[in-house]
Chains A and B, each alone.
Chain A
Amino acid sequence: MNSLILETQNLTKSFTGFTAVNNVSLSFKPQSITAIIGPNGAGKTTFVNLCTGMFKPDSGRIIFNGEDITNFSPEKRVQLGISRTFQIVNIFPKLTVMQNVKIPLLSKGRIEELENILGIFQLGEKKDVPASELSHGDQKILEMAMAMATKPKILFLDEPMAGVNPAERSRIVNLIKDLRYEEKLTIIIVEHDMDVVFRIAQRITVMNRGSVIADGTPDEIRNNATVKEIYLRGVEV
């Protein structure tokens, strides 16, 4: 039995002119919360995109539960249990909240879970409202609900706090924490809000210019001089 849920081996992806993800090998244990941080252009989102199937890597492998999924389509990965949210809210704006959640539920035939999920994410009262009419924070929460509706084993959250009011942030933090315990979920989160990162992450991976430069517990990272250096000046390491 493999004790790792997800593993990347020497993942590399280049776009014209630069290498966004450079030889990244990371592994994730079940039911852990890992935060990936780093300055702009560090390759965090590209890494998430590679793991979830948005892009194909130039080289390297992605192993999920012991299976090589490097060339799987996004929908197939979702079927296996890899789900995600996006930096910019990615929902169905003209459909109602209920319909938004229904679509991912259908892919696993779990339609009876609808009310349950709406309940967990406190969207029950707004279920007949078009998603575009929700507050931005609620839209972020709805997107998480949609990601959860496919009953993932691993959930990628790409900047869940981006554009969210400070007032709504704690709601989202609490939701993420709850999810982890109640759904036995592995969570990988990319986030700039360091309060949030240090409140929820068990492990923090720091990326810079496509490479992993530090990996450890929040305390280790907090006291890591190189990391601080990078955040303050972004120079070569």
Chain B
Amino acid sequence: MTSILTLSDVNSYYEKSHILFGVSLEIKEGEVVVLLGRNGVGKTTTLKTIMGLVPKITGKILFKDSTDLLKIPPHKRAKLGIGYVPDHGGIFPNLTVYQNMKLSIKQSKSKSESTQIFELEDVFDLFPQLEHMINRLAGTLSGGERRMLGIARGLLLNPDLLIIDEPSEGLAPNIVQDIVEIINKIRSSGVSVLVADQNLPFVEKIADRVYVIDKGEIKLSGKLSELSREELEMFLTF
């Protein structure tokens, strides 16, 4: 398996504050990798670092073992094949559901290169409820629907790597279950996924491997089943 994304010794800063301390991680082709950790430990910063949304970054970020992302602006990273669904949903509330999706389709990576091609119909298969509301303003959707739309938008970019920030946050259990299924379907389509989350039962259902992050550093990594449950809980609770 080749690796889709490799971070080596990455440090990130906002102005004076140093957030990530030498983070290294790797996502291989077709894997679902989860970044586990409590609030405020640097999960979102790691994802933003990958997208190029953090003002100062040192270290190395390699995409598909070949492209160094560090000097590439965010929109080009998206076009290279990295989809990003931020924790606030990643939708445009002033646009309709359809316009939201169309935006991604137009920017989607050229189809010949993609492992799996997501078209509108494929997305409606995954998210049947969206089909009925394509003309609604995205801002009027419920939290769960927004989350679905956000993921749908990410998929329509036809990425090789889809990054989702806190997909289970604030959602009802049945919707979380839907998201589990969706992520598993995405995996089976061959797209790699990087998820940041702290909801252990949810993560257990989706993760191939996890990285546990605390105070800006990777503390543990490996298959969830191989990690000590006690240590995990320590990092996730108190």
Interface string of A109-136 (1 = CB under 8 A from B): 0000000000000000000000010111
Interface size class of A (residues with CB under 8 A): 20 to 34
Q: Is A182 close to B, CB under 8 A?
A: no
Residues of B close to A192: CB separation below 8 A: 38-41
A48 CA to B198 CA, complexed, in Å: 24
Residues of A close to B233: CB separation below 8 A: 228, 232
Residues of B close to A66: CB separation below 8 A: none
Structural contact, A236 and B172, CB atoms closer than 8 A: yes
Contact of A164 with B238 at beta-carbon distance under 8 Å, contacts A39-B39, A159-B40, A192-B40 already known: no
Q: Is A197 close to B, CB under 8 A?
A: yes
B58 CB, nearest partner CB in chain A, Å: 16
Residues of A close to B173: CB separation below 8 A: 235-236
Interface string of A145-181 (1 = CB under 8 A from B): 0000000000000010011111000000000000000
A residues 83-121 near B (Cβ < 8 Å) are 89
A181 CA to B134 CA, complexed, in Å: 60
Q: Is B202 close to A, CB under 8 A?
A: yes
A88 CB, nearest partner CB in chain B, Å: 9
Contact of A233 with B17 at beta-carbon distance under 8 Å, contacts A40-B169, A194-B238 already known: no
A189 CA to B164 CA, complexed, in Å: 30
Q: Is A76 close to B, CB under 8 A?
A: no
Q: Is A193 close to B, CB under 8 A?
A: yes
Structural contact, B38 and A234, CB atoms closer than 8 A: no
Q: Is A184 close to B, CB under 8 A?
A: no
B residues 155-186 near A (Cβ < 8 Å) are 166, 168-170, 172-173
A165 CA to B170 CA, complexed, in Å: 29
A162 CA to B16 CA, complexed, in Å: 12
Contact of A234 with B168 at beta-carbon distance under 8 Å, contacts A139-B16, A165-B18 already known: yes
A191 CA to B224 CA, complexed, in Å: 27
Structural contact, B199 and A233, CB atoms closer than 8 A: yes
Structural contact, A194 and B198, CB atoms closer than 8 A: no
Q: Is B200 close to A, CB under 8 A?
A: yes
Structural contact, A222 and B39, CB atoms closer than 8 A: no
A192 CA to B15 CA, complexed, in Å: 21
Residues of B close to A216: CB separation below 8 A: none
Structural contact, B39 and A40, CB atoms closer than 8 A: yes
A residues 37-84 near B (Cβ < 8 Å) are 37, 39-41
Number of B residues, CB within 8 Å of A? 27
Contact of A198 with B166 at beta-carbon distance under 8 Å, contacts A166-B215, A235-B173 already known: no
A198 CA to B238 CA, complexed, in Å: 8
Q: Is B55 close to A, CB under 8 A?
A: no
A162 contact from B40, B199, B202, B238, Cβ within 8 A: B40
A234 contact from B15, B18, B87, B169, Cβ within 8 A: B169
Chain A residue nearest to B38 in the complex (CB): A192
Q: Is B19 close to A, CB under 8 A?
A: yes
Residues of A close to B19: CB separation below 8 A: 163
A199 CB, nearest partner CB in chain B, Å: 11
Structural contact, A193 and B18, CB atoms closer than 8 A: no
Chain A residue nearest to B41 in the complex (CB): A192
Q: Is B112 close to A, CB under 8 A?
A: no
Structural contact, A234 and B237, CB atoms closer than 8 A: no
B74 CB, nearest partner CB in chain A, Å: 22
A sample of 16 inter-chain contacts (CB < 8 A) reads: A40-B166, A40-B169, A89-B17, A136-B16, A136-B17, A163-B19, A164-B17, A165-B18, A192-B39, A193-B40, A193-B215, A221-B238, A232-B198, A233-B199, A235-B173, A236-B172
Residues of B within 8 A of A (CB): 14-19, 38-41, 87, 166, 168-170, 172-173, 198-202, 215, 233, 236-238
Taking A39-B198, A232-B201 as known contacts, 10 extra A-B pairs with beta carbons closer than 8 A to each other, sorted by chain A number, are A89-B16, A134-B16, A136-B17, A192-B38, A192-B40, A193-B40, A194-B238, A232-B236, A234-B170, A235-B173
Identify the 5 closest CB pairs spanning chains A and B, nearest first.
A163-B17, A194-B238, A192-B40, A136-B17, A136-B16
